[in-house]
Structure formats: structure tokens, C-alpha cells
A and B are shown apart, each in its own frame.
Chain A
Amino acid sequence: MARTRFRFVDLRLIAVGLVFVLAWAGIGYRLFRVQGADAAELAQLGFDQRVRHETIQAKRGTIYDRDGIELAVTVYGKALVADPSLVEAPGEAAAILAPIVGVDYVELIQRLEGDGRFTYVARRLESDTVERAREAIESADLIGFWFVEEPLRIYPSGALAAPVIGITRLDDGSGIEGIEAVMETELAGHPGKRVVERDQSGRAIPQAEFLLEPSVAGSDVVLTLDREIQYISETSLQAGIDRSGAFGGSVIVLDIANGEILAMVSLPGFDGSDRSALDPSTLRNRAITDVYEPGSTLKVVTVAAALEEGVIRPDTPFETPNEIEVGDETYSDHGSNPPVMTVSDIVAQSSNVGTIKIQRQLGNEAHYRYLDAFGLGRPASIDFAGESTGRLDHVSEWNNVAAGPSAAIGYGVGATPLQMASVFATLANDGEWVEPHVIAEIVASDGERTITEPRRHRVVSPETARTMRTMLRRVVEDGTGFRADIDEFPVGGKTGTTDKFDVATGKYSDTETIAWFIGIAPIDDPKIVVVVVLDSPSGMIAGGYDMSFGGTSAAPIFAEIAESTLHQLGVSPTHDGDA
């Protein structure tokens, strides 16, 4: 018995010993794995869980008007996001959150019932909405919702100058239109990098943060636009479009001395802050992308070139029948002409026949040289993305005998409103072409300023330019542009009306026109050039005048804008009101 008991005890001891040995062996093995074999991998796993490489977003630069008022500014807003796999009751959560954050209840349920692990509940939330949503989430104990910070591009003036300023993407905030796109590199800045250690709750552990590379904020861009003049121009053009039923239109107000664009309007436009109503067709800036035949407004180049070349003088007489044939083409004037007109009369009455006769004396080579020197056929400015070059065939391609005469009266040549503004600004600026521009300066985050220096070159002599201005004054005093006249300032300009060319059919429209008025104000001491273009104006105004003409539809818009702009610029009235 004793031997048996001894054996049993012995066995128990051995069993217990074995258990201990195995347990310690297991612990030892685990220790070996953790501290030895898998040590590097586990250490890396822990490091990865704790340490994160984070990108420090660079603040996007602000776009200002010439007076330092913010036109586009980035602020940091909050977005409410959710992990649908964690949301226990999507219906209940949607019922609580939808009215607070202002999203559709059904749409929110669909998103919360989705398969993904991330969805936006609402973006661009105001701070008070964030607080209310946070309280609702906490009080209802909703799981799977949290807030993330995201940059928001705000346009405080709404739709004002939107086609010029442009717009940014919602996802990465990069510019896709306008100045936002052209100046993307400068505005975006450079993101930085840092290493952060975070605890289980995601809080950064102090003293465990290493800055690898600081972010560099984007540069600020100061535009030449004047917000008040821009507003005046937009409201006047919109009123003109409403009056005439035009499809759209453009306005440019240019400071002639330095080429600064004080206002640039393209209607219909858009509001960059309200993307729900965004129509892609309104994103384009018509003032630089749309090419029109400038019609009679281009006659100033023909006449200025002929004056500069000494071919004509203002009082040179021309026989002016109502029609003239050049090759297979017949050109005619509206109404009946006097048998003889001086150059000054030809400009004032916008005679096609007279202008063609002047061009024939000038010759194609010289005519082309001046069209080129005035800036046609190439982008007028470097400040715009997608600016059209317009259309100016080289003189060697003017094979048709009617090419020169057509160009003389503004047909067969394509120009943007900005190019035509530049032509008239050259005449207003005593014959010196100054590059029109909308970017006044770029201010880097370290304060370094890069001020725009516009290109310049002489096109015609100051004397020719003055003579042309005298003729342009006559257009308003007793010519086709009388509706452009204003009481307080003497102004001059040129009307233009061209049949709209339909690219699809390759034919000119019988009913739709492009109506122009381009004016200089004040004409005796020029400060600004204003271009007004209306796309397909129609209808009648009092007195039975057809609104499809530049003199009836575009000229009154010029008058409104020019008068208000000169007031805004503090230019003293000089006119005695006799016109």
C-alpha cells in the first residue's frame, strides 16, 4: 500500500512539475517570440499604431481687390462624417441629424446604410451648427459619427466677378477656373510634414511631435479689380441684358494709363459659394474666351493706320456711294450716304463704303501690320487661362481680294472684348499699347511683393491718337453713338454691330447680332476705356429703334458704367453738358 501511495504522490508531483515546466516553457517560448523572433515586427506594429506621419495643410492664399477687400478667402470649417458600419440605427440617427445639418433625411439614410466605412453627413458647417450636432450626437449616444476639419473657400462678395476669380475643387481645394486656376502654384503654397505620437484616444502626446518640414502658406494675390466699379458694371450690364433680351454679354473697364482692368464682367455668371446652382456653361469668362467679329469698332484701326501712314487726313474727302463691289462681294451702308464724306464723317457715320476705300489706299500689308501692332491675333494678357488668341490670318493668306476690305470693317477678323479694349486703350493712351492685366501684385507669405510690370510698345504717334479721339468724339456727338453721351463728362467711342456667325452651319444669322460699344472717357483727358458687348440683343426701344444694334443696346450701358466709374475714381466733371 505504502509503495502504491508513494507512486501516486510521485506521479502527482511529476504531473504538477510537468504542468509548471510546460507553463514556464510556454511563457518562455512566448517571451522568446515577443522579445526575440518577432521583436522587430511587433515593435514596428506598436510604432505604427502610435506614430503617424501627418501632412500639415498649407493655408491657401487670399485674393483681394485693389482696395484690399477679400474676394476669395480660405477658412477652416467642419464636416460631419460617419462610419456606416458602426452606425447602429441609421433611421434614428438620420432623423436626429438631418434637420440640424440641413440635409435630406432619405438621402442621409441611404448613405448611412451604405457598405463603405466612410461617408460625409454634411460639409461646410457653420460653428453653431457644429455645436448643435455635437450635442445631439452626445445626448442620443450615437456611435460612428465624428467631425473633421476641412478648408473652405469662401467668396464673400458672392457672384461678383466670379468668372474672373474662378472656383476651386471641393475635394483638394485646387483652382479649376479663373485666377484660382492661373495662380494655383502661388495660391496653394507648400504643405508641410510632421511626425506625431498619439494615444489610444487619438490625442497627440506632448513632446512627442517632430516637425519634419513646416508648411508654407500660399501667396496672396491682389487684383486690379475695383469692387464698386465691378458691381456697377455687373448691374448695368444685367439691366441692359434684361432690356434687350440678350443671351449674355461682357463688359471691361480698363485704366488706360497702366493697363489695369478695373472691372471685367461676364454674364450669365455664377456664385462660387453656392455650388448647388452651378451651371458649367456660366463658368467661362466671355470677356476673354469668346471671339466675335468686331465689326465697325475695328474701323478705328483702319483709319488710324491710314492716318499714321500719311495716306489720309481727317478732312480728306471720299466719294461714298451706298454700295461698293470688291471682287464677288458687295458692301453697303445702312441708310443713304451723302455723295462725299470726309474721313471724320466716315468714322462718325460708320460708313462701310468709306472705310473700305480708305483701306484700299492703305494696302493690305500696312493694314495687317497695324492690326498686329494693336494686339489682334494673340492673347492680350498673360493673366488669364484659356484666353483666346482671336483670329487674324497672316496677310500672306489674304488670298481673297475681299479679305482686306472685310478686315477693314471688322469682318473676317475675330477678337475678344479684351483685345478690343486694348485697341481703344492704345488710342486713349496717346498711341502706346499697354498690356491689360488683372493681377496687380503677388504678396508671398514672407511679405515679398511681386508687382506686375505691364509690357508696353508704341503703335501710333500721339498726334494720330489725338486725331482719332477727336473723330471718336464726333461719333457720340452727332454719329451712331449718341446714346453713349453723358452730361458730366465728354466721351467718345465707336458702335459696332455684326451678324452673329453660326459655327455649326457656317453661315451668318439673319436675326441674331453681336452688338458693341467701345468708348473712351473722358475723351479730352482719357482715364478709362469701357467695352460693352451684347450677344443677340433684340426687341425695340421707344421711338421704334431696333435693339439689335450696338448704338441702341450697348451704348446706353456704356454711358451708365462710364459715368459711375469716373465718379468712383474721383474724376472731376469737366463737361458743360452741351452734348
Chain B
Amino acid sequence: MTAGALPRSTARRVGAREQARRRPVVRPLVIFTIAVILAFFAVIYSRISLDRTAFELQRLDREIAVEQELHWDLRVDYARLQAPALITQRAAALGLVYPEDRYTIEISGMADTVGGPEDRWMDLRALFVEQP
């Protein structure tokens, strides 16, 4: 028994398959290349973003430092303005003097406040609460 020729349709199918097998596999390569390119740009982008963020952080640090400096300058100014010597000097310039007659007003609960500032604040808070 000898083999007969393949039917035409079958031969066509085998040829197409063979052609497909011989054709180089491009799609995965393209996808891989695109992925690599995307990854490359992603890395660059993230690097730039990191740098931008770092610069932004640096700027914020500088701003914090400036604000802290301002904060302490203001506190020093505040303390200087509260100095009794300065207040006395300003008061004298304004013509303020101690009165000849002094009257003592006793406020209940305020007499024994020899404690620290917290005690005094507690007394003052209590006083404020009682006020209408």
C-alpha cells in the first residue's frame, strides 16, 4: 500500500503551520522591549520624583529652621519687653508713679499662692471660671 497524496486542503494547513513555525516570535520580544523601556522610564521618573521630593524636603527643613529662628527671636523679644527694668523705665517716661494711698483688695482663695506658676494658674483659672 502506497501513500497517496494528501488532500489539497490538508496540505495547505500543514504549509501554513510550517510557515508559522518558521516565522520569528516577535510579539513577546516587542512586549519585553516595551516593558524594559517602560521600566527604564519608570525608574528615571521615580528617581526624578525622589530628587524633587528631596529638594522639597530640604526646602521645608529650611523653612522650619527659619520659622524656629523667628519663634525664638520673638520669645526673646517678648522676654525683653517683659523685663521689669524696661517696664519701670517706660512707666516713668509716661509719668506713672506709685499712688500715695494704696488699697488692698482681698480675693478669696488668692492669699496663699506662694507656690509655683502652676498653682497660680490654677487659682487664676478658678477665678476666671467663677466670673460671669
The residues of A with any CB-CB pair to B shorter than 8 Å are 66-71, 73-76, 127, 154, 156-158, 160, 204, 206-207, 227-228, 231, 235, 255, 257, 440, 488, 527, 569-573
Query: How far is B101's CA from A250's CA once the two chains are assembled, in angstroms?
Result: 31
With A67-B120, A73-B79, A527-B114 known, 9 other A-B pairs at CB within 8 A are A157-B85, A206-B58, A207-B54, A227-B82, A227-B84, A231-B88, A235-B88, A488-B104, A570-B111
Tell me if B73 and A75 are in contact (CB < 8 A).
yes
Q: List the 6 shortest-distance A-B pairs measured between CB atoms, nearest first.
A: A206-B54, A156-B79, A231-B84, A70-B79, A156-B80, A157-B83
Q: A156-B80, A440-B116, A569-B113 are in contact. Are A204 and B85 (CB under 8 A)?
A: no
Tell me if A569 and B72 are in contact (CB < 8 A).
no
Contacts of B50 in A (CB 8 A): 207
What does DSSP make chain B's interface, helix, strand, loop or mixed?
A: helix
Interface residue B76 (Cβ < 8 Å from any Cβ of A): yes
15 pairs from A and B in contact (CB 8 Å cutoff): A70-B76, A73-B75, A74-B72, A75-B76, A154-B76, A160-B84, A160-B85, A206-B54, A206-B58, A207-B50, A231-B88, A440-B116, A570-B114, A572-B106, A573-B104
Interface residue B63 (Cβ < 8 Å from any Cβ of A): no
Tell me if A76 and B117 are in contact (CB < 8 A).
no
Tell me if B51 and A255 are in contact (CB < 8 A).
no
Interface centre among B51, B54, B79, B117 (most CB of A within 10 A): B79
Tell me if A207 and B69 are in contact (CB < 8 A).
no
Tell me if B113 and A570 are in contact (CB < 8 A).
yes
Tell me if A73 and B76 are in contact (CB < 8 A).
yes
Minimum CB–CB distance from B64 to chain A (whole Å) comes to 13
Contacts of A207 in B (CB 8 A): 50-51, 54
Contacts of A204 in B (CB 8 A): 58
Interface centre among B50, B104, B116 (most CB of A within 10 A): B116
Minimum CB–CB distance from A534 to chain B (whole Å) comes to 22
Interface centre among B73, B75, B111, B114 (most CB of A within 10 A): B114
Contacts of B83 in A (CB 8 A): 156-158, 160, 227
Query: How far is B54's CA from A219's CA once the two chains are assembled, in angstroms?
Result: 31
Query: How far is B120's CA from A67's CA once the two chains are assembled, in angstroms?
Result: 9
Query: Which residues of chain B from 79 to 131 have a CB within 8 Å of any chain A CB?
Result: 79-80, 82-85, 88, 104, 106, 110-114, 116-117, 120
Minimum CB–CB distance from B114 to chain A (whole Å) comes to 5
Query: Which residues of chain B from 37 to 70 have a CB within 8 Å of any chain A CB?
Result: 50-51, 54-55, 57-58, 69
Query: How far is B111's CA from A154's CA once the two chains are assembled, in angstroms?
Result: 35
Query: How far is B113's CA from A572's CA once the two chains are assembled, in angstroms?
Result: 11
Among B82, B85, B104, B116, the residue within 8 A (CB) of A572 is B104
Tell me if B114 and A257 are in contact (CB < 8 A).
yes
Which residue of chain A has its CB nearest to the CB of B104? A573
Query: How far is B73's CA from A265's CA once the two chains are assembled, in angstroms?
Result: 28
Tell me if A66 and B110 are in contact (CB < 8 A).
no
Which residue of chain A has its CB nearest to the CB of B107? A570
Query: How far is B87's CA from A158's CA once the two chains are assembled, in angstroms?
Result: 13
Contacts of A570 in B (CB 8 A): 110-114
